[in-house]
Structure 1
């Protein structure tokens, strides 16, 4: 049985965080509202991640662990992208490259373990794996680009934040609410596909602008 106080903190702070993310997502990019909403989202998600890990003492949920790692990695990457002039940001980007690699391999290995049977569960694992394969490729390209130019990549920042928000929504749909007519894999596949479409579109709208030295 989870501690009621921790559960309440998880729900309230997590909800405030998602609300901040929603405001940031639909506000003018670069505005004070956008920035404040983003920091509220990050703060709320960190509290939700910590409380989720505390819940794991009673009931270990592999997907919840994946969501926690993914959200943390995506938020850190989003912040380092706009703090690219800082040495610590570049160092963190190199260190955190391990996370999308693990998140790419883990669902893929889990799916291969269940072969030759291919189910709806396998499709969810493929979508997860492909999402982080894209992140691995994007991160490597980003780090290679940093050697030539340390121009803040706004499109990448928005891409990572939108994906982090997507995992927050996934956590609510997958674990936070119990709706009989919503299939569990549906709560992974649909949010991820929709989130990736929105994130990639936002990334396309904010291409890298190289500044002349």
Structure 2
């Protein structure tokens, strides 16, 4: 029975991952704020959330630190993206604080991992240090955002766009890591190279002014 459950979970994870990728392409291709954009965005968010949860389920049996971080970052990205556009939701503020603490914890964990590798004379220490810096960037943005009393809609929409770009980068990163041997691309190149998608997507699709944000 457990074998069937594992197979079902893996199959669901793969199907939802590809479905989320398709929804992301649609959301990026249509007019921002349109009905189709919102529907595709919700499908992407739900599919990626379930995929991240199933990934965590796999980690219970076979812990993989990088996969755990990926799944957690995905949940953080989706949560903060959704809450950015829905500040009126009950406990939205508490949720944003919780997500900020989550990314801060991941940042600290990556930093301590780097420190341990450095002290142990292992030359892989720059990788978690760089990851800590990337996560730290989002943590700093969260702290600055949470300190503001009144956030204009343009800033909330841009916050949403940046977090969605982060989630999309995770969508691309996961299958590339799985098939890294077939692709012939080193692990570090995939892990950090896909982070470059974030500024590309953000600057290409985030609203530039208040009129675009109001669309």
Report TM bin, short chain: 0.7 to 0.9
Question: Which runs of structure 2 are paired with 1:137-176 in the superposition (5 Å)?
Answer: 137-145=140-148, 147-149=149-151, 151=153, 153-175=156-178
Match of 1:196 among 174, 195, 198: 198
- SS of corresponding position for 1:60: coil
Q: Which residue of 2 aligns with 1:28?
A: 31
- CA distance, structure 1, for counterparts of residue 207 and residue 125 of structure 2: 32
CA contact (8 A) 2:80 2:160 kept: yes
Report the aligned-residue RMSD: 2.4
- CA distance, structure 2, for counterparts of residue 80 and residue 47 of structure 1: 18
Greater CA deviation, 71-80 or 43-52? 43-52
TM-score normalised by the chain length of structure 2: 0.85
- CA distance, structure 2, for counterparts of residue 188 and residue 107 of structure 1: 14
Deviant stretches of 4+, over 6 Å: none
Q: Which residue of 2 aligns with 1:184?
A: 187
Displacement after TM superposition at 1:178 (Å)? 3.9
Greater share of helix: 2
Q: Which residue of 2 aligns with 1:59?
A: 62
- CA distance, structure 2, for counterparts of residue 206 and residue 54 of structure 1: 39
Say if 1:148 and 1:57 are closer, same or farther in 2 by CA, change over 3 A.
closer
Displacement after TM superposition at 1:202 (Å)? 5.1
TM-score normalised by the chain length of structure 1: 0.85
Greater CA deviation, 47-56 or 75-84? 47-56
Structure 2 gaps of 5+ residues are none
